[in-house]
Amino acid sequence: MKRSGRLTWAILSASNAAPRTREREMSLAHRMWAVPTDGSEGPVPLAIYPPGLDANGLTIFAASPSEIRSLLEASSSERRSLKSSFSRTSSFAVMSGGSFSPDASGGGSSASSQNSPPAPLRPPNVPMANSAGTVGIAYQNYTANGLAGFQTPLPKGSQGPNLGQIQMEGYAAASTPPYLALRGAATEAANFAYDMALGSWMPMVNLANDQLTASALRSSGSGNPFNQVNIGLLITHGVYGSSMDFNASGCKQMYFPVTSGTSSQYVRMSEISFGGSSPTNGLKWMALLACSSLHQVNWQSMQNQNIKPYNSNLHMILGADTEIELDSRTAQYWADYMIGNPNATPTPRLPMPIRAAWYQAASDAYHFNSNPNFVHTISPMKFATVYDNACQGDYLQNQTNTVLSGSWGKDASQVYP
């Protein structure tokens, strides 16, 4: 992918993912299929449908080729039974209704797959049985202007007339950084949703592009869609300011360009308030898969000015200390490692703490590639986490048991090279 100044994101094929475990091999064998809800036809690969498909009247699900063969060999009544079983089990991500633009490469980065990035996979219409918790996912792929991408007007550093605009990292004052398309964002989001569903975590929020508005991110309480779920993932471009923002007590901070049609605007991190409505309800962990989303100097500047993009019920924000590359496996691995599989054979895989899983997932994604000549365009890359000090060892499984301390810490881990 072309560089966009210092905002570079590489798209790597999910098909290159390392078969780390037998469970991993089984997971990667599943692909997306579509079948009419009236049972008039058998399942066909979702990739054959044209971009922008109206998926009303279709059940979209993940299954392996062997499971599809079983489905095709069954009688019509058995087909209906098998299809119903797909929608009931947490072993498959089942979507229906809405619009869907399939990624014809199955998550790869070929030119054909990048021309028409997929729209969001829809969460199940019926709550998942024995749900372990709820998930919120949103992404922006910045494709409304085609190859031109976006150049987002810089925010002012003050409401006064003399301070001008915020200077962004690596760019001269008043110049506008370009933001090219994140064509792997939809695949990253779908992979995360699918693997969280394997662990019985139910997608409740799934927003793409214009469905995610700047005003929603700026909202506090239930107005912010992420605050209604237990764990969230936001995939966007990100940039840190290199001049002070007097709209936020004179701190330096991070900014996220959010699109609306062919235009875009910055959301200041100071305008965001992540966190649920109580210690036991709503958002506890929020991941920002965006460049410099937890840039050390600027995060410390925000803390020094008592600018907190979270309320007293949030446990943790996960992000990046540097520019990073978008890899379609990072969030998928993160879900895998957080959930674990004690029943995996031949070796059980225990759940990892949320923070440790974040670092391990990125490291594994960036260090594995089947092409020995592949070179990352950004080096080094550091992921980061900020957390209530009582919550730095949180697991997904103890989501209601932590008593927050009220004081926050931060650490980072170099995940490449």
Among candidates 319, 289, 285, which has minimal Cα distance to 302? 319
Please list the alpha-helical segments (H only) found in 259-399. Answer: 296-304, 330-339, 354-367
Query: Residue-wise over 229-254: b if at least 16 C-beta within 10 A, else e?
Result: bbbbbbbbbbbbbeebbebbeebbbb
Residue with tokens 């202007």: 145
| HEC string for 213-271 | CHHHHHCCHHHCHHHHCCEEEEECCCEEECCCEHHHCCECCEEEEEEECCEEEEEEHHH
The torsion angles phi and psi of 115, rounded to 5 degrees, stand at: -65, -35
The predicted structure's pLDDT at residue 29: 44
Tokens of 248: 């936020």
Task: Match 């019926």 to its residue by tokens.
Answer: 126
What would the two tokens of residue 344 be? 């995996």
Cα gap 28→194, rounded to integer Å: 11
Q: Give the residue from 327, 352, 330 showing the smallest Cα distance to 340.
A: 352
Decide: 166 and 309 in contact? Cβ < 8 Å.
no
- Cα–Cα distances (Å) from 262 to 84, 209, 393, in that order, read 40, 11, 42
Distance of alpha carbon 349 from alpha carbon 367, whole angstroms: 21
How far is residue 318 from each of residues 13, 27, 79, 116, 385, measured CA to CA in Å? Answer: 23, 25, 43, 29, 4
What residue spans of 89-136 are helical by DSSP H? 111-115
Measured between alpha carbons, how far is 164 from 370 in angstroms, rounded to an integer? 48
- CA 186 to each of CA 7, 31, 140, 366: distance values in angstroms, whole numbers, following the listed order: 19, 15, 8, 19
List the chain domain ranges. Answer: 31-122, 128-416
Question: pLDDT value at position 189?
Answer: 93
Q: What is the pLDDT of residue 330?
A: 96
* Residue among 273, 288, 94 at smallest CA distance from 198: 94
Rounded to whole angstroms, how far apart are CA atoms 387 and 318?
8
Q: What is the DSSP-derived secondary structure letter of residue 304?
A: H
- Identify the pLDDT of residue 180: 94
Q: Are 330 and 365 in contact (CB under 8 A)?
A: yes
- pLDDT of the residue at 22: 28
Q: Are strands 99-100 and 53-54 parallel, antiparallel or unpaired?
A: antiparallel
Model pLDDT, residue 123: 36
User: Identity (one letter) of the amino acid at 90?
Assistant: S
Contact call for residues 256 and 214 (beta carbons, < 8 A): no
User: What's the rounded Cα separation, in Å, for the pair 114 and 146?
Assistant: 11
Residue among 353, 360, 333, 357 nearest 415 (CA) = 360
Nearest to 179, CA basis, from 243, 270, 255, 121: 255
User: Does the predicted model carry a pTM greater than 0.85?
Assistant: no
Query: What pLDDT was estimated at residue 296?
Result: 98
CB count in 10 Å sphere of residue 59? 20
pLDDT in tens, the chain (417 residues): 223 433 333 333 333 333 333 233 333 345 566 666 665 555 655 544 444 455 556 666 666 655 655 655 553 333 333 333 333 222 222 222 222 222 222 222 222 222 333 333 333 333 344 578 999 999 999 999 998 899 999 988 887 666 688 999 878 777 888 999 998 899 899 999 989 988 889 889 999 999 999 999 999 888 999 999 999 999 999 999 999 999 999 999 999 999 999 999 999 999 999 999 998 899 999 999 999 999 999 999 999 999 999 999 999 999 999 999 999 899 999 999 999 988 888 888 999 999 999 999 999 999 987 666 677 889 999 999 999 999 999 999 876 667 899 999 999 999 999
**347/343 Cα distance (integer angstroms):** 8
pLDDT value of residue 345: 83
**For the chain, first and last CA: distance in Å?**
20
Strand partners, 239: 255
218 phi/psi in degrees, rounded to 5: -80, -10
- The token pair at 173 is 């004052």
φ, ψ dihedrals at 160, nearest 5°? -75, 170
| Inter-residue contact 381 to 320 (CB < 8 Å) | yes
Q: Do 369 and 416 touch, CB atoms closer than 8 A?
A: no
Residue 224: phi and psi, rounded to 5, are -85, 120
Topology of domain 128-416, CATH: Rossmann fold (3.40.50)
pLDDT of residue 159: 73
What separation in angstroms does the CA of 170 have from each of 154, 200, 289? 14, 43, 20
